[in-house]
Amino acid sequence: MKKTLLSLSNLTKQFDGKTVLDSLNLDIYDGEFITLLGPSGCGKTTLLRLMAGFEHPDAGAITLSGDDLTGTPPEHRPLNTVFQHYALFPHMSVFDNVAYGLKMEKRPKEEIRERVGEALAMVQLQDYMRRKPHQLSGGQQQRVAIARAVVKRPRLLLLDEPLSALDYKLRRTMQVELKRLQRELGITFVFVTHDQEEALSMSDRVVVLKDGVVQQLGTPREVYERPANLFTARFVGETNFFPGEVESIHDGSITVDVFGLKRTLRRPDFPVQQGQPLHVLLRPEDIRVLDPADEQGVAGKIVERNYKGSTLDSVIHLEDGTEVLASEFFDEDDPAFDYRLGEPVKVSWVDGWEWLLPEEADEPVHEDALTDA
């Protein structure tokens, strides 16, 4: 049984009458790496600021191991923040930046020196103590910001899109480094990002947020493979949505009509009725591209092919105009495997690899604006 460290209950926050968080509940476990994921404006940063104490909720409570923190000012909360733009004090050296929190605790000089040294060694910056922040690269500033936040040994570390200002390669390195730090320190990390790849690769659990409401809370695998709704399916990774209609219902399985194909699929958790329309979700890597002569599958033609190194990603137009994304791994037996543009193919999948979701009243399936970010 996991122990709850920070508990958010019924948190509500409005700005100028606009609801940013709507009675949100969330329990954060001791020692976990949890990520708040969502598009900009979903409330993830507000949630983090409420935890840090920079904002106060209009309603609801925040408790840390049972102690009410809701009205506690940030300087008295046993948690620290790594800011998006690092927020290093420009007039202080690296040493003084990291020592700041300990000086505020009025620790003895000797202890401060020792702990700052340790924290800087942890991020491999012990040789940069005398430098000023403006003499460091972006990645180094990021490390100082992390050292400054962990030197106080907080119960919880809040990270507000800490990697968004770094270039791609450095970001990958820092992702690995953050994971290592989290393991070594055993501190609970609450990480905010809009980058779903980052969220999936780093987290123990992911909280998908939209309009201040939790859409899904689960492990990266659950969120990716079993999205709770259309928003999560669309926001986390690429997804093909096929329209289906329930033909008949059996024990543990249902027969669904997809593009005229009768497929027997696993019966979903939500209630189904005969004739009910539903969405059949397939990740690009679950799509099988077959020979046009194959009896299985839906006919279409290749309209785009992108060589991605380890995979060949293609876009297939079905006869009714539906666009299908497929991502296939290169086969050792056939290294020259490729498609011609316009080449006729058939599209199918292995039964059981799909994921079914019911229709949602106010959720248009194909809205490109929501799929990026």
Partner 1 sequence: MPSITRQPFRTAVLVLVWGWLLFLVLAPNLLVVGASVMTRDPGTFISLPLNLDAYRQLFDALYLEVFLHSLYMAAMTTLVCLLIGYPFAWALSKLGKQRQLLLIFFLIVPFWTNSLVRTYALKMLLATNGLINSALMGLGWIDEPVQMLYTEGAVIIGLVYLLLPFMILPLYSVFDDLRQELLLASHDLGAGRFATFIHVIVPLTLPGVLAGVMLVLLPAMGLFFVPDILGGSRNLLVGNVIKNQFLDARNWPFGAAASIVLTITMAILMLAHRVSKQRIGEEGTG
* Positions in the binding site for partner 1 (CB under 8 A): 52-54, 73-76, 80-81, 83-85, 87-91, 100-101, 104-105, 132-135, 148-149, 152
Which strands form 18-29's sheet, in the order they lie side by side?
A: 18-29, 4-15, 59-64, 67-68
Looking at the Cβ atoms of 144 and 174, the one nearer to partner 1 is 144
> Smallest distance from the beta carbon of 62 to partner 1, in angstroms?
15
φ/ψ region of 237 (left if φ > 0, alpha if ψ in -120 to 50, else beta) reads left
> Smallest distance from the beta carbon of 136 to partner 1, in angstroms?
10
> Smallest distance from the beta carbon of 187 to partner 1, in angstroms?
15
> Smallest distance from the beta carbon of 113 to partner 1, in angstroms?
17
Looking at the Cβ atoms of 103 and 180, the one nearer to partner 1 is 103
Extended strands (E) in the chain: 4-15, 18-29, 33-37, 59-64, 67-68, 79-82, 156-160, 188-193, 205-210, 213-218, 240-249, 253-258, 261-266, 277-282, 287-290, 298-307, 311-318, 323-329, 344-349, 355-358
Looking at the Cβ atoms of 49 and 171, the one nearer to partner 1 is 49
Looking at the Cβ atoms of 148 and 263, the one nearer to partner 1 is 148
> Smallest distance from the beta carbon of 106 to partner 1, in angstroms?
10
Q: How many residues in total does the chain contain?
A: 373
- How far is Cα of residue 284 from the mean position of the Cα atoms in its chain? 19
Looking at the Cβ atoms of 13 and 234, the one nearer to partner 1 is 13
How far apart, in Å, are the Cα atoms of 306 and each of 311, 316, 330, 339? 9, 12, 13, 10
φ/ψ region of 41 (left if φ > 0, alpha if ψ in -120 to 50, else beta) reads left
> Smallest distance from the beta carbon of 182 to partner 1, in angstroms?
19
Looking at the Cβ atoms of 115 and 346, the one nearer to partner 1 is 115
